């Protein structure tokens, strides 16, 4: 058996995650400040944009049909190309409608990238190595995020924010073209079903993905917006927070992978949901800048536990079901994600605390359902 680090797809995935981190982390670091300071976006508008951002995630089930014509490794490169183009163009469209357009293109690439690469990992690595691989890829992404954040901090003093989008988007585009013409060999032992289906035996995986998608939006959309809009974090301060988060992520992701292998998904995910319950609740109570920044860091730490849902699917799914079930789960994850930002934006306009109370409730539901998980060491 070939050691997992010696597989050609291993190097390909590492490079792909570096490129995705450059494009997406660059966009995340810059977007809220650009939207608030350059465009003048309101809470409702940010919710609307983020809802549009999640539409490609909901449409990720179409990957099932795309891989009839394009292999997942080719789709990975093309997805990175779309991600890079969306980021590259962001600074050229400083308006509400412009941000909707460029965000959609960026998101289309990012979500299809995630779906394709998750499928590649689960198909090419066994149940022990898959969790290690997911942890390694997240650590590689986190280390790249640190570099991106550090560079953006420096560039923010030298060039206008819109030029930062051009740099990170351009690098992603160039890297995607390299990957497109350097496709690796992959394990095709189990040819994947190429049709849409829902199976009763995967119902818990579907439910947990739905709740994770809903909960994630509170963090992704409103936690950063809270820092910028209410506590007036500068782009440098936001970038510093991202750097801190990713240094921690680089160190902790391999530990999470080993914990999943040792303790099982139920215990690890339970810890995530309990911690997030207290974090979301404390968001509503603390009203000083650096306390909320600490919550954001802790929020990000426990967000890293989420790849336990992918390893759970790998353990319960038939080998030929992995690609379509992963795509369907990813789509379900984004059903609420399309709606939650708009609803949350409306709630924010009434009281900024309300979206975080919704997050508290979602954590309770997630904790209840995750107790049903039954896998070895669960």
- State whether the Cα torsion 172-105-230-214 is positive or negative: negative
Q: Which residue has the tokens 């035996």?
A: 201
Q: End-to-end distance of the chain based on CA atoms, in angstroms?
A: 27
Cα distances (angstroms) measured from residue 19 to each of 110, 169, 170, 264: 11, 10, 11, 31
Q: What six digits make up the tokens of 44?
A: 């409702």
Domain contains 377: no
Q: What six digits make up the tokens of 246?
A: 């990713």
Domain contains 27: yes
Task: Count other Cβ atoms within 10 Å, centred on residue 137.
Answer: 24
Cα distances (angstroms) measured from residue 69 to each of 64, 74, 87: 10, 10, 27
Domain contains 134: yes
Instruction: Give the integer Cα–Cα distance in Å for 176 and 152.
Output: 21
Query: Angle, nearest 10°, between helix axes 235-263 and 8-33?
Result: 140
pLDDT at 187: 61
pTM for this predicted structure = 0.76
pLDDT at 282: 93
Alpha helices for 181-234 (secondary structure H): 203-217, 224-225
Give the residue numbers spanning the domain of 38.
Answer: 4-370
pLDDT at 194: 59
Q: Are 284 and 353 in contact (CB under 8 A)?
A: yes
DSSP one-letter string for 290-305: HHHHHHHHHHHHHHGG
- State whether the Cα torsion 177-180-181-187 is positive or negative: positive
Q: Give the domain CATH number at 220.
A: 1.20.1250.20
Q: What six digits make up the tokens of 339?
A: 């709606």
pLDDT at 5: 66
CA-closest candidate to residue 310, choices 323, 291, 297, 295 = 323
Domain contains 298: yes
Q: Using CB atoms within 10 A of its CB, is residue 8 exposed (0-12), middle (13-18) or buried (19+)?
A: middle
Domain contains 363: yes
Domain contains 376: no
- What is the number of structural domains in the chain? 1
- State whether the Cα torsion 369-370-375-378 is positive or negative: negative
pLDDT at 1: 41
Q: What six digits make up the tokens of 258?
A: 């080993």
Domain contains 378: no
Cα distances (angstroms) measured from residue 14 to each of 8, 117, 122, 191: 10, 10, 15, 24
Question: DSSP secondary-structure letter at 192?
Answer: P
* Per-residue tens of pLDDT for the chain, all 378 residues: 445 566 778 899 999 999 999 999 899 888 878 888 888 887 778 778 877 887 887 787 777 778 778 888 899 999 999 999 999 999 898 889 999 999 999 999 998 998 888 888 888 888 778 888 888 898 888 889 888 888 887 887 788 888 899 999 999 999 999 999 988 876 655 555 556 667 888 899 899 989 988 888 787 778 877 888 788 888 778 778 878 888 888 888 888 888 988 898 999 999 999 999 999 999 988 888 888 899 999 988 888 888 888 888 888 888 787 777 777 877 787 777 677 777 887 888 888 889 899 999 999 999 999 999 986 554
Q: Are 54 and 313 in contact (CB under 8 A)?
A: no
Domain contains 218: yes
């Amino acid at each position: 058996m070939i050691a997992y680090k010696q597989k050609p797809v291993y190097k390909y995935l590492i490079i792909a995650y570096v490129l995705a981190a450059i494009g997406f982390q660059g966009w995340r670091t810059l977007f809220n400040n650009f939207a608030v300071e350059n465009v003048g976006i309101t809470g409702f508008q940010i919710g609307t944009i983020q809802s549009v951002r999640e539409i490609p995630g909901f449409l990720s089930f179409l990957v099932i049909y795309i891989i009839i014509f394009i292999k997942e490794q080719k789709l990975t490169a093309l997805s990175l190309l779309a991600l890079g183009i969306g980021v590259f163009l962001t600074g050229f469209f400083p308006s509400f409608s412009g941000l909707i357009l460029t965000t959609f293109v960026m998101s289309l690439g990012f979500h299809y990238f995630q779906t394709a690469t998750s499928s590649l990992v689960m198909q090419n690595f066994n149940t022990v190595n898959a969790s290690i691989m997911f942890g390694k890829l997240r650590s590689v992404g986190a280390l790249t995020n640190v570099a991106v954040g550090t560079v953006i901090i420096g560039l923010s003093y030298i060039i206008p924010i819109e030029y930062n989008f051009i740099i990170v988007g351009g690098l992603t585009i160039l890297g995607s073209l390299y990957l497109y013409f350097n496709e690796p060999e992959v394990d095709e032992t189990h040819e994947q079903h190429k049709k849409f289906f829902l199976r009763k035996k995967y119902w818990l995986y579907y439910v947990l993905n739905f709740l994770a998608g809903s909960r994630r939006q509170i963090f992704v959309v409103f936690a950063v917006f809270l820092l910028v809009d209410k506590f007036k974090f500068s782009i440098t301060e936001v970038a510093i927070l991202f750097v801190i988060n990713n240094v921690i992520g680089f160190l902790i992701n391999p530990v999470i992978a080993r914990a999943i292998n040792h303790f099982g998904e139920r215990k690890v995910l339970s810890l995530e949901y309990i911690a997030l319950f207290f974090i979301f609740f404390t968001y509503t109570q603390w009203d000083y800048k650096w306390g909320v920044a600490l919550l954001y860091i802790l929020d990000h730490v426990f967000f890293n536990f989420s790849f336990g849902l992918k390893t759970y699917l790998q353990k319960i799914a038939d080998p030929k079901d992995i690609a379509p079930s992963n795509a369907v789960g990813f789509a379900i994850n984004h059903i609420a994600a399309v709606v939650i930002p708009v609803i949350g934006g409306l709630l924010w306009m009434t009281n900024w605390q309300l979206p975080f109370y919704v997050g508290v409730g979602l954590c309770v539901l997630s904790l209840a359902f995750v107790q049903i998980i039954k896998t070895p060491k669960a």
